[in-house]
């Protein structure tokens, strides 16, 4: 399929994991992907792998200065953005007593202010028929210890799906979200856990997943591209769970 010929996507956090998979598939279907990441090194590495239809911008989704520059940087490449996948993020998981105000601000900056101001800044470039897709999380549905701040931040994004869908209706911009379950990405690398601790955490998680495996980033990308395509022309204000049923099936 070539559903995105001549289209541009902004994918925040496109150097790895789900964002990278979305960029790869979007390019594979004829589009150009503008990806962001925090460092020159990761952005360059990803754009080299993605090829000539990838554009990389170093931009920290938790930094207001970077967010406010994004529109001008993107205008060097295009005046139209057809898809914003507001995806950049990571988790830090701590018991309530150990969360300090800096941890709280860090997660809310990247996970809540990041997607809000990314979309705000892209709106002048978005025409009728374009679409916004937020990345929420299964963590909004399942209560897990140590997830208090992360889950609250993702719940705020769930709220944006509804309010943005209402406000952007008149402009013909569709707004939706995907809610991933446990997906095999680098998400644990920002948590401060070492390799063994990450492996241990994953081995504890797998038996709780109805399919007994982590999802592949490409399985998220399939859904994001569907939501961005004309096939989803009647889907607005929706959050699609891509989680192997973990949010409804208790093991």
Give me the residues that bind ligand NAP (CB under 6 A), please.
Answer: 12-19, 36-39, 42, 60-62, 87-91, 110, 135, 137-138, 180, 182-183, 185-187
114 Cβ neighbours under 8 A, 6+ residues apart: 12, 61, 62, 67, 86, 88, 89
Nearer to ligand NAP by Cβ, of 6 and 145: the residue is 145
Rounded to the nearest whole angstrom, what is the least distance from the CB of residue 80 to ligand NAP in the complex? 22
- Please give the Cα distance from 251 to 249 (Å, whole number): 6
Nearer to ligand NAP by Cβ, of 90 and 164: the residue is 90
Rounded to the nearest whole angstrom, what is the least distance from the CB of residue 220 to ligand NAP in the complex? 8
Spot the catalytic one: 8, 20, 90, 150: 150
Q: Are 202 and 189 in contact (CB under 8 A)?
A: no
Structure tokens, 204: 């504890």
Nearer to ligand NAP by Cβ, of 110 and 244: the residue is 110
Q: Are 209 and 244 in contact (CB under 8 A)?
A: yes
Give me the residues paired with residue 180 across strands.
Answer: 242
Rounded to the nearest whole angstrom, what is the least distance from the CB of residue 247 to ligand NAP in the complex? 11
The residue whose Cβ lies closest to ligand NAP is 17
Rounded to the nearest whole angstrom, what is the least distance from the CB of residue 209 to ligand NAP in the complex? 10
Phi-psi region of 13 (alpha: psi -120 to 50; beta: other; left: phi over 0): left
Give me the residues paired with residue 217 across strands.
Answer: none
Going along 94-173, which residue ranges are E strands?
A: 131-135
Rounded to the nearest whole angstrom, what is the least distance from the CB of residue 103 to ligand NAP in the complex? 14
Q: Are 25 and 218 in contact (CB under 8 A)?
A: yes
Q: Is 234 noted as a catalytic residue in this protein?
A: no
Nearer to ligand NAP by Cβ, of 171 and 213: the residue is 213
Q: Are 32 and 9 in contact (CB under 8 A)?
A: yes
Helix (H, G, I), strand (E, B) or coil at 56: strand
Nearer to ligand NAP by Cβ, of 23 and 232: the residue is 23
Catalytic sites, residue numbers: 150
């Amino acid at each position: 399929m070539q559903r995105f010929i001549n289209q541009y996507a902004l994918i925040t956090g496109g150097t790895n994991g789900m964002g990278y998979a979305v960029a790869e598939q979007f390019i594979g279907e004829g589009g150009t992907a503008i990806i962001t990441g925090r460092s020159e090194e990761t952005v360059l590495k990803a754009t080299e792998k993605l090829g000539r239809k990838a554009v990389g911008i170093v931009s920290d989704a938790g930094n207001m200065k970077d967010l406010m520059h994004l529109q001008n940087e993107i205008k060097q490449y295009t005046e139209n953005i057809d898809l914003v996948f507001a995806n950049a993020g990571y988790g830090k998981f701590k018991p309530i007593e150990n969360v300090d105000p800096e941890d709280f601000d860090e997660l809310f900056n990247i996970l809540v202010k990041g997607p809000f101001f990314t979309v705000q800044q892209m709106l002048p470039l978005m025409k009728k028929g374009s679409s916004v897709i937020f990345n929420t999380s299964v963590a909004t549905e399942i209560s897990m210890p140590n997830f208090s701040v992360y889950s609250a931040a993702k719940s705020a994004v769930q709220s944006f799906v509804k309010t943005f869908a209402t406000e952007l209706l008149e402009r013909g911009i569709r707004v939706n979200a995907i809610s991933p379950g446990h997906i095999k990405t680098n998400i644990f690398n920002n948590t401060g856990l070492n390799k063994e601790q990450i492996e241990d955490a994953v081995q504890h998680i797998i038996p709780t997943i109805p399919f007994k495996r982590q999802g592949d980033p490409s399985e998220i990308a399939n859904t994001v591209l569907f939501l961005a395509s004309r096939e989803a022309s009647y889907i607005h204000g929706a959050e699609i769970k891509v989680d192997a049923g973990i949010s409804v099936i208790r093991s």
